[in-house]
């Protein structure tokens, strides 16, 4: 510990120095306020003992100046008797303690020094702790602010991404709607072309599509399958474009060869449709709509579950429609005969579930074909 003692009385300085040096203090002496202040600035003592009354610069002025330079350094004023108001002023200006001259009992000085040093240490520790705390708070605040900015940036980026995705989704939805409309338009166009060449096949396909859709709905197929079945119904006989019209509309009995020619329409239909990327198996349905559950159908003689469910539905609707409606080259056998045909061959030629559903629909008085 370094003690600066400022006093104009040499004997006082020497007494103090002798006593404190014995206690292992380093003591620096100054004989007046002015030199004391200079020494304070250069030597930076831990504690100052300062006489109140001195020539040139008195103790109060020294006190004020030291307080300005280093507010944390303890200053103990040493005063003669009878100057109470000056002691009070010194305490008001920030002196830590005071000792009355002459110092008869040096232990009083020692006690005061120890108390001031202890208090100075506490103050310094307190300040360091506060500074450390403030630094911590500042760091944490900076971290929180940085984190907040990071979160805000991430939020902003997420928002942008969500908006972009929504935009893409909307575009996709729009192009899907356009695509669906295009497919629907294409199918209706094909259906119209068939109808223009052969009005009876055209009407037949339209009825088959309606009945097949009603069966698919009643069975509980998915919306996508129902739509596929309806479109397949509309063009399932497209292969008849490859069959001479005279054979198609020939009244009366047709020859074995003519029958074989007509039967080529299933494969011809598949050939026409197979390269169009419909979202439904329309080419397969056209190919299989004359297949029968027992393998007696054409062109491949497929059996049971090897035939698409959609083709099994079109098959029943196809047979029923052709027996209900008249053709210019032959009369219609009628609804009764049509129902008899499918019920008789349910499970043999036709899918039993489809037959049962078809009978239910056709015997419902609310069901009507729209031509
Ligand atoms: Fe057919």
Query: How does the average pLDDT of the chain come out, rounded?
Result: 92
**pLDDT above 90 (res 35):** yes
- Percent of the chain past pLDDT 90, that is, above it, reads 74
Once rounded to an integer, what is the mean pLDDT over residues 89-102? 92
Whole-number Å distance, alpha carbon 292 to ligand 1 midpoint, is 13
Between the CA of 160 and the centroid of ligand 1 the distance, in Å, is 54
Q: Write the CB contacts of 164 (distance below 8 Å, at least 6 apart in sequence).
A: none
Ligand 1 centroid – CA 209 distance (Å):
12
Give me ligand 1 centre to Cα 181, in Å.
Answer: 26
Tokens linked to 267: 């494969």
How many angstroms is it from 367 CA to the middle of ligand 1? 23
Q: What is the CA radius of gyration of the chain?
A: 56
- What's the CA gap between 348 and 351, in Å, rounded? 8
Q: Which helix (H) or strand (E) holds 128?
A: helix 106-197
Q: Ligand 1 centroid vs 269 CA: distance in angstroms?
A: 9
> Ligand 1 centre from 262 Cα, in Å?
9
Q: What is the tens place of the pLDDT at every residue in 101-126?
A: 888 889 999 999 999 999 999 999 99
Whose CA is closest to 8, among 37, 50, 47? 50
Find the 365 Cα to ligand 1 centroid distance in Å: 27
Q: How far is ligand 1, taken at its centre, from the CA of residue 318, in Å?
A: 7
Rounded Cα–Cα distance for residues 15 and 203 (Å): 134
- Cα-to-centroid distance, 289 and ligand 1 (Å): 7
pLDDT tops 90 at residue 365: no
**Res 371 pLDDT > 80:** no
Confidence of residue 79 (pLDDT cuts 50, 70, 90): confident
pLDDT in tens, 139-178: 999 999 999 999 999 999 999 999 999 999 999 999 989 9
What is the tens place of the pLDDT at every residue in 214-269?
999 999 999 999 999 999 999 999 999 899 988 887 877 889 999 999 999 999 99
pLDDT at 27: 96
DSSP reduced 3-state for 327: strand
Ligand 1 midpoint to CA 278 (Å): 20
Asked whether 359 and 340 are in contact (CB, 8 A), the reply is no
How much is the pTM?
A: 0.60
Residue with tokens 């056209």: 286
- Residue 104 has a pLDDT of 86
CA of 300 to the centre of ligand 1 (A): 14
Which residue has tokens 């001259």?
101
Average pLDDT for residues 30-56, to the nearest whole number?
94
Using the mean position of ligand 1's atoms as its centre, give its distance from the Cα of residue 216 in Å: 19
| 269 contacts 287 by C-beta, under 8 angstroms | yes
pLDDT above 80: residue 330: no
Ligand 1 centre to CA of 283 (Å) is 13
Q: With 90 as the cut, is the pLDDT of residue 68 above it?
A: yes
C-alpha–C-alpha distance, residues 152 and 154, integer Å: 5
For ligand 1, the distance from its centroid to the CA atom of residue 335, given in whole angstroms, is: 19
Given phi > 0 = left and psi -120 to 50 = alpha, else beta, which region is 252?
left
CA neighbor of 52 nearest in space, from 73, 14, 79: 79
CA distance 252 to 249: 10
Q: How confident is the model at residue 199 (pLDDT cuts 50, 70, 90)?
A: confident
**pLDDT reported for residue 191:** 86
Residue 144 alpha carbon to ligand 1 centre in Å: 75
Whether 95 contacts 131, CB under 8 Å:
no
Centroid of ligand 1 to alpha carbon of 16 (angstroms): 130
pLDDT at residue 24 in the model: 94
* C-alpha 92 to ligand 1 mean position (Å): 118
Determine the pLDDT at residue 220. 96
| Ligand 1 centroid from CA 186, angstroms | 20
CA of 236 relative to ligand 1 center, distance in Å? 7
More confident residue, 294 or 367: 294
The number of beta carbons lying within 10 Å of the beta carbon of residue 2 is: 13
Confidence of residue 314 (pLDDT cuts 50, 70, 90): very high
Residues 32 and 72: their CA atoms lie apart, in Å, by 22
User: What domains can be seen in the chain, in order of their start residue?
Assistant: 2-124 (3.40.50.2300), 198-362 (1.10.3210.10)
Cα–ligand 1 centroid distance for 265 (angstroms): 7
The Å distance, Cα 359 to ligand 1 centre, comes to: 21
C-alpha 341, offset from chain centre: 59
Q: Do 245 and 198 form a contact (C-beta atoms < 8 A)?
A: yes
Q: How far is the CA of 290 from the centre of ligand 1 (A)?
A: 6
Measured between alpha carbons, how far is 354 from 304 in angstroms, rounded to an integer?
12
């Amino acid at each position: 510990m370094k003690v600066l003692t400022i006093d104009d009385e040499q004997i006082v300085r020497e007494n103090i120095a002798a006593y404190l040096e014995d206690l292992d203090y380093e003591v620096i002496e100054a004989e007046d306020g002015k030199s004391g202040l200079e020494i304070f600035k250069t030597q930076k003592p831990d504690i100052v003992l300062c006489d109140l009354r001195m020539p040139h610069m008195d103790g109060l002025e020294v006190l004020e100046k030291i307080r300005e330079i280093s507010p944390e350094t303890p200053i103990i004023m040493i005063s003669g008797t009878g100057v109470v108001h000056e002691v009070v002023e010194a305490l008001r200006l920030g002196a830590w303690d005071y000792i009355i001259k002459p110092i008869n009992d040096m232990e009083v000085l020692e006690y005061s020094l120890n108390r001031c040093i202890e208090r100075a240490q506490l103050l310094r520790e307190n300040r360091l702790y506060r500074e450390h705390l403030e630094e911590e708070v500042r760091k944490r605040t900076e971290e929180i602010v940085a984190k907040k900015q990071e979160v805000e940036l991430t939020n902003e980026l997420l928002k942008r991404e969500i908006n972009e995705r929504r935009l893409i989704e909307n575009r996709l939805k729009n192009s899907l709607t356009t695509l669906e409309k295009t497919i629907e338009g294409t199918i209706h166009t094909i259906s119209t072309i068939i109808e223009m060449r052969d009005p009876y096949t055209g009407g037949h396909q339209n009825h088959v599509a309606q009945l097949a859709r009603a069966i698919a709905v009643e069975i509980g197929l998915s919306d996508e399958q129902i739509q596929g079945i309806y479109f397949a119904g509309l063009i399932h006989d497209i292969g008849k474009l490859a069959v001479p019209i005279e054979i198609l509309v020939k009244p009366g009995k047709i020859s074995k060869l003519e029958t074989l020619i007509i039967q080529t329409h299933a494969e011809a239909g598949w050939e026409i449709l197979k390269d169009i990327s419909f979202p439904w198996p329309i080419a397969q349905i056209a190919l299989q709509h004359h297949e029968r559950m027992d393998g007696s159908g054409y062109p491949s003689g497929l059996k049971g579950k090897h035939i698409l469910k959609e083709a099994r539905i079109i098959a029943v609707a196809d047979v029923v429609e052709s027996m209900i409606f008249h053709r210019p080259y032959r009369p219609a056998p009628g609804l009764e005969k049509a129902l008899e045909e499918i019920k008789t061959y349910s499970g043999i030629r036709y899918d039993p579930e489809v037959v049962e559903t078809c009978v239910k629909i056709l015997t419902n008085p609310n069901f009507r074909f729209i031509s």
